[in-house]
Structure 1
Amino acid sequence: MAGKNIAQKILARAAGKEAVATGEYLIVRSKLPVTSEGDYLSRGPIQVMESGAKKVFNPKLIKIVVGHAGAGGGKTIGEARRKIRRWAEAVGVPRENILDLGQQGVEHIVAGEQCWVLPGELYFSVTDGHTTALGALGGFTVPLSYESGAYLVKGVSWVQVPEVARFTLTGKAKEGVYVRDIYEYILGQIGVTGTPNQVILWDGDYVAGLDMDARFTLCANALFSSAWTAIIEPDQVTLDYVRTHTKEPFDPLYGDADAEYSQHRSFDVSAIEPQIVPPPERTHVRLLSAYEGMKITKGHIGACTNGRMADMRVAGKILRGHKVHPDVMLNITPGSVAIYRQCLTEGTLEVFVDAGVFLPAPCCGQCASGTTTPLGDDDVCLSSGTCNYPGRMGSDKAEIYLASPATIAASAVTGCVTDPRKFL
């Protein structure tokens, strides 16, 4: 009999079973917090309100993060925030579990900083698909959908044990080629149906050499190849990170050496060059060199994909001593209050201000429907956000290209798409 992979082991633990098989349906529980959006009325709270339920399974485990719209969004967002706050108070969610503006950031970044996800455990969110970023902590992290309300009331949900696709990354990346470039290259190779309803397991010596910020980025966009989530088995880097960010006990799990996978592909990252994703298709990834010299009007560094401290540092390294081009508006949005504070401590904020960067408060910012700096009809934006479809950041006539923070910072200085290695 073949061994079990890490996804099977985590779901078996959550179901209270000794072992489970791919395709098996389970009723599962999670001992971890469940997070909900605080800017928009996400499906879970709406379903609870509409059902007339007066109680939730454990109000102390519900976390509400005001992070998508930031300070923008207008009256509709303001009313939604008040409504979800009244609901949270009515069902007994502790005040300290509601992270409001000035106390928060991007939900998936805050959850990683505070280790709401623990190695070896199942974690639910009732917000969006980028919950998968937290799989970097060695947990099984998934968003709930139409069953969100039932979970908030009952504290249980069902899952079908998924297949696992194993992607092994080897080699050393070239200077100026970052984990965002690596991910986009692989997405371009496997396509939108590369991992249908599967879990992506990232491993290999390249992954082992990544810090936690890079691992979160690698896992954040699993949904674009139709995966359910992504995961990295915990190693010493993971364990050290978790132990310094929480006092909660945990028991990591690991796949067996003879575990079976739906597919196993290897990628040598040493041959990969900087990448760019032109609109409107998310998986039509191209070499950055094919677009060098194209003029841009907006730049955006941030979001759940690249709003972490490592991203702030690389942007600061490139922008130091330079000014943003007069024809470009560069928006850099730190992903959390903790990251904003670290930027202040290290002097990175001063670099940004001196360069002429627009600095919103921590939030999803421009990636979330352009709530901080919406795009106009003729704008051409280079972004580290998640999506490039028309209308994502404002006008549906604007163009959104996706790239690494290094590429965006370099391009913001020159006013056109630029290989970041010219600044490194």
Structure 2
Amino acid sequence: MKLPQGPKTPGIVQLFQWIADPLRLMDDCAQRYGEMFTLRVGTNCRPIVFLTNPQAIKEVFTADYKQFASGHANELARPLVGQNSLMLMDGDRHKRERQLLLPPFHGENIRSYGELIRNITLAVTKDWQIGQTFIVRDVMQEITLQVILRAVFGLEEGERDRKLRHLLSEMLDNISSPLNSALLFFPQLQKDLGAWSPWSKFLRRQSQITELLMAEIQERRANFDPSRKDILSLLMSAKDEAGNPMTDAELHDELLTLLVAGHETTATSLAWALYSIHHVPGVLEKLLHEIDSLGENPDPNLIAKLPYLTAVCNETLRIYPILFITFGRVAQSPVKIMAKEFEPGTSLAPCIYLTHRRKDLYPEPEKFKPERFLERQFSPYEFFPFGGGTRRCIGIALAPYEMKIVLATILANWQLSLADKTPVKPIRRGFTLGPKGGVRMVIKNKN
């Protein structure tokens, strides 16, 4: 069965284009081939069908969970997150793991982290000085890493926390560089060639992270405290329908998955948000007026309900989605999407980046206009920064909540300005889409 049209260049060329300049590749294909096209950018240059029509995306997201398996591209993350990651599971095992993971991410649990997120933000920024220039993404990464370690891992300050913070930061920085991320895109480069080879360093660091996480898990099991509300404690209490808890190996891999999926991504979104707030005229003034209306030290849960702040976060996630495509879906049986039939084994990928830039959905799609989210409600097939269906990111409640608390806390306490008025361009950072240079800002005297 013939796949939709796509570039005729060799697969290896397309893969290098995907790694080096994915936005231009997708934009060119959308202009040339329309709403559905094929790129050979999967592992071993396997073809992947990109979908940008909301109806096609709906048909993928609402299909029976057994219709699709995880995509070949998901396998790229295995060295980072381990074989027990929800990201790599399919069928009944995926359903079981997701049912165990979702309750701790329920809205009520997430709202209990508001004060923690605010206090971490205040602590990280307390030593800022008037006139100081800083890289926004770096500061946001420190905040989001601490949120993960405290709210998700439940780590207390100490030697283990210090070591893990260093190792995890190093791991995430390394996979964000073009050179090191190539190790993940090309499995054939994953060779241990001695102590100083890149893959050997990667394996040694992963082993150290595993040792520290396992020590934390085992210590917490031996001294289990049912009153703790961090996500690791809640996951330790979770049992599946057969009454079985998660194993230590499952807990370890899911903690790494939550770190990889929730640290760099949220930090990058915060960097983009602060850039747009200070780059687009009128946005900062509206935000400050809304935040100030709550008075001093407002309840974080009231902050999370502010409509314009929510619209700013949504517009940030629309115009600068962290991932280009959702987790791929590999058809397990013949499937029909938009009246087109696909054979088993076909990889389908709803494209977040291109769908979020459809002119029929988002007039002037290149402009940062938060008001569009106040003027209409978008369906989960038109706006889906966290993916959709049975593979929607389980952090869909935590990430926006964290973004709003962090942004409101910084804007209420500091006056900032962009250090460089030149527009910031998006570039690939590992698996994600980040601002080139990380966004440089200056701390100003608050009037």
TM-score range, shorter chain: under 0.3
Return the TM-score normalized by structure 2: 0.27
Bigger strand fraction: 1
Bigger helix fraction: 2
Return the TM-score normalized by structure 1: 0.28
The answer to which structure, 1 or 2, has the higher relative contact order (CA under 8 A, 6+ apart) is 2
Give 1 or 2 for the bigger CA radius of gyration: 2
